[in-house]
Amino acid sequence: MASEEGVSGAGARYIQMQSEPMPSMISSFLSFRQSPESTRIFEELPKATIVSVSRPDASDISPMLLSYTIEFRYQQFKWRLIRKASHVFYLHFALKKRAIIEEIHEKQEQVKEWLQNIGIGEHTAVVHDDDEPDEETVPLHHDESVKNRDVPSSAALPIIRPALGRQHSVSDRAKVAMQGYLNLFLGNLDIVNSREVCKFLEVSKLSFSPEYGPKLKEDYVMVKHLPKIPKDDDIKKCCPCHWLSCCNDNWQKVWAVLKPGFLALLEDPFNPQPLDIIVFDLLPASDGNGEGRLSLAKEIKERNPLRHALKNNRKFLKVTCGNRSIRLRAKSSAKVKDWVAAINDAGLRPPEGWCHPHRFGSFAPPRGLIDDGSLAQWFVDGRAAFEAIASAIEEAKSEIFICGWWVCPELYLRRPFQSHASSRLDALLEAKAKQGVQIYILLYKEFALALKINSVYSKRKFLSIHENVKVLRYPDHFSTGVYLWSHHEKLVIVDYQICFIGGLDLCFGRYDTSEHKVGDQPPLIWPGKDYYNPRESEPNSWEDTMKDELDRGKYPRMPWHDVHCALWGPPCRDVARHFVQRWNYAKRNKAPNEQAIPLLMPQHHMVIPHYMGMSREMDVEKKNVENKYKDSKQIDSFSSRSSFQDIPLLLPQEPDGLDSPNEESKLNSSVDLLDQPTRANKSISFSFRKSKTEPVLDMPMKGFVDDLDTLDLKGKMSSDVMAQPGMRMSHREWWETQERGNQVLSADETGQVGPCIPCRCQVIRSVSQWSAGTSQVEDSTHNAYCSLIEKAEHFIYIENQFFISGLSGDEIIRNRVLEALYRRIMRAYNDKKCFRVIIVIPLLPGFQGGLDDGGAASVRAIMHWQYRTICRGNNSILQNLYEVIGPKTRDYISFYGLRSYGRLFDGGPVASSQVYVHSKIMIVDDCTTLIGSANINDRSLLGSRDSEIGVLIEDKELTDSYMGGRPRKAGKFAHSLRLSLWSEHLGLRGGEIDQINDPVVDSTYRDVWMATAKTNSAIYQDVFSCIPSDLIHSRAAMRQHMAIWKEKLGHTSIDLGLAPTKLESYDNGDMKTIEPMERLEAVKGHLVSFPLDFMCTEDLRPVFNESEYYASPQVFH
């Protein structure tokens, strides 16, 4: 008989339903094997609070239709669910069902033996159930010999008789009664971790991993696009019949987990490894039908009329992001609507709003508007950056992401290489992989006919290191049809905590110091093929990397100048999100069924400040969920210490009041987080988005989706022009003794490593469908360049590997960096204001071949497009400015290169080479810096061609400086980087920094910068007569020039980089001879003028008998 026990007072009668005692269950209802720790979702008991009780129709007095809005709390997470009394009823009997079945399982052998003893037969089934399991329940075990059997309780048989009463009092009593029930079954950790309860609570292994963000909606859904999931039991069919064809369409049940930045599909709530993942990204501005921006998720109607009739108008939802579109099926139309609302809210709601374009059209919002842990630090040249990267890799605890245009396994990150064998990239990665760190390397798969970087060799080498190293190369040229474009990003991301971004690939030829040495004999710094000069020769094979490609006694290496940057906090996670997006896209295209290569999930930056009004850093150490539970065996059963009283069933016997008539229409899953520590040993708090029903405050960022949003920092800097006396001295002291913060380099790198300081950061990129699987082209790097130039107030400093751009109306070159520069200079001229633009680029393209060689057509083609941009023809900036401004054009804009010299070995020949400018930076007004991988050309900036990534850094910490002769605050990051670069280029020592503190006054621009470049250029011309030169106007003149010097020297480099043993000069009619090094002592730094008149009479475009003539011109610009 069922026993009744009053649980709540106030006159209301609620029955606690129990089944009649069974002999085997008197002492314990749940005498089960205890779950191992690895299968637990909850490490501690959650809490539940009944917020409200409602009923959709006040006239309906059925207690089974009562709806309870329940708020659950676990650690720092808080979420709400709407559950009907019937749901609780089903949960109760599901738990009872499990208990009975497991009890029978434990006694099965005894029963079999007893049956055999009485002669019934040894193969008689003990437990048999012809009924299919309810789709709402999850099988506990996967034993083929035993199926779950529902053992009904006699307590479920009586009809619940509602009693009449006042609605508001009934509602209160129902709330108290249900609260008591929840407190009972949530009071046992083993019951809470059961599948039934976890499904009731909509939780999984990913729910409470703070690195993936707050808990949003979760539930079982049906999908069709996944490969067959191996299971012991057949998937639940869409209808009870087994012969209708509507069921044979490969629908499978999976667990869907919605997070702020993605939707993951899991095989099981207890398995954190995703079967599929949709990373939310920018959606098109229109759906093509004039109905506004495309939705991330929407309802769709059933197209199969047979299933349509059988399933009572069941609906589906379609989730569309990038070039992917998948269909999901839920049990009811109400659940479909809930999923659509939840997914669209997660993908479109600010501040992240991953499906909305942010400033400049970027996928990432500006970070660091509050103290969210956004930090940045710059590195000049390879030594500084590589040392920092090596130290970060050595500290890795969980995972490492590496993405590069070219990655060399044998690259030494510390030098001299003989004493730093463990710093070789493959050795560093091997050591971390053996410690369990997961390493993911994404390589550009080059078109072998055009490049010799041999990515297949790098892939094989990396894969041979350890099984924890995963490598993908992309794209497949023939299957994708992509031959001309490349993946050009240079990324290293460690544990989602720190990332490195900029112009440096982890490959040969990039390691360098501020000295930019041209020789290394015997090898100490650059071993084997790392002694690199692509102008002379590109290696045909990378198999023997320690074997020299160049004769060190005859040819100089080509020094390499670059700038890199480290990011911490939310911008680091934005960069990692880009990597994850690209990795998953390559995985689906290259290795969709390869289990060894997993899909990745982007981690969530733990601050949502823009509308929550919070200001705390949310930097949580990542838990390696995938590894932790990878090989765990799941035994889903309760603890033997659980008792029958742990799971009572409460049903109200009186009708409920209508506390909240619209409660049922609300989103069935909403979330908030408590402001409390994440772990007992961490004083870290979280602040996630509130319930969907709460209003969203406006973001404190005007023009949230405006590409040309104003950089609000400049107004503050412009207005704050007062400085304290003695500012110059304090500035010099700050520069020479600057704080390094969390830097990982030695102190002797002063001048090459910047301060690690809080900044406003926004990640920008160039991607499209072919490169990242996006639905539209993103050219936020291009937009950022143009916007920053337009808003510059005093000066712009640019370093870039290329400078190919177009003016308005140019139908060939489509990027408009040049137009932005032209307009800004003309505005300054018309306003009669001082404005400077300084551009530093390579003297020659860094590709193999003498400029007059038949095989150097590609070098000449790039030169053509650069000179077309700079000074030749109606599309060039200098010609257009000169027509208006005249000779004063050079007061506004000028172009430069870098050159270095030295002996190839002690007592050897004196050699010179251009310092190859590979940095991609722009500094504006000493307050804003753009650093990345993008060149200034169409390939990098249009978005539809090469893939690129960069970061825009706006200073928050200011220092005293000058601008235009007046005191002015400058940003620490931008200002210190410019001083470092200019000090290196101009050869200034620490005590001479004041000469370049003000970048625009004539005493700096004319007397220091331009004068140094002019003097250095003249000396190099006297000593080497090197190429390029303003004195050579045609290929014929160059051939004659080369012949004279080759005859004079007997041997020289490809660009006349060797000096004669003696220099001859005339003084008052007398010929004098001096040593080349004596003349070169007057060279300061590396700055030289860019030769604007070099080859000025030649058409440098490819001709019909050159293969480049038949290639698309887009390849070169």
Residues acting as catalytic residues? 488, 490, 495, 918, 920, 925
- Whether the CB-CB separation of 472 and 583 falls below 8 Å is answered with yes
Cα 809–Cα 811–Cα 813 angle in degrees, nearest 5: 100
- Helix/strand number for the chain, H first, E second: 26, 36
Provide the 10 A C-beta neighbour count for residue 637: 24
CA distance 929 to 952: 6
Cα 751–Cα 755–Cα 760 angle in degrees, nearest 5: 130
CA distance 446 to 406: 9
Residues in the chain: 1117
CA distance 870 to 373: 41
Asked if the peptide bond before residue 365 counts as cis, ω within 30 degrees of 0, the response is no
Asked if the peptide bond before residue 475 counts as cis, ω within 30 degrees of 0, the response is yes
CA distance 472 to 592: 12
- Whether the CB-CB separation of 213 and 66 falls below 8 Å is answered with no
Strand partners, 266: 255, 274
CA distance 1015 to 999: 19
| 3-state secondary structure at position 108 | helix
CA distance 932 to 578: 14
Q: Max CA-CA distance within the chain?
A: 131
Question: To 10 degrees, the CA torsion angle through 516, 520, 523, 527?
Answer: 50
- Whether the CB-CB separation of 979 and 735 falls below 8 Å is answered with yes
- Whether the CB-CB separation of 959 and 730 falls below 8 Å is answered with no
Identify residue 252 by its one-letter amino acid code: Q
Short-list 692, 663, 693, CA closest to 67 = 663
Question: To 10 degrees, the CA torsion angle through 463, 469, 474, 476?
Answer: 40
- Whether the CB-CB separation of 935 and 810 falls below 8 Å is answered with no
| 3-state secondary structure at position 910 | strand
CA distance 913 to 519: 10
* DSSP state for residue 487 in the 8-state scheme: B
Query: What sign results for the dihedral spanned by CA atoms 972, 975, 980, 983?
Result: negative
Tokens at 583, concatenated: 């990795």
Chain CA centroid to CA 843, Å: 34
Short-list 410, 417, 383, CA closest to 523 = 417
Tokens at 976, concatenated: 């210190």
Half-sphere exposure of 440 (CA within 13 A, CB side): 23
Tokens at 758, concatenated: 């809080």
CA distance 1063 to 1022: 8
Tokens at 812, concatenated: 């060939």
Identify residue 717 by its one-letter amino acid code: M
| 3-state secondary structure at position 947 | strand
H/E element, 259: strand 252-259
Convert 852-875 to b/e letters by CB count within 10 Å (16 or more is b): eeeebbbbbbbbbbbbbbbbbeeb
CA distances for 187 relative to 42, 46, 72, 75, 97, angstroms: 12, 8, 13, 15, 20
Strand partners, 677: none
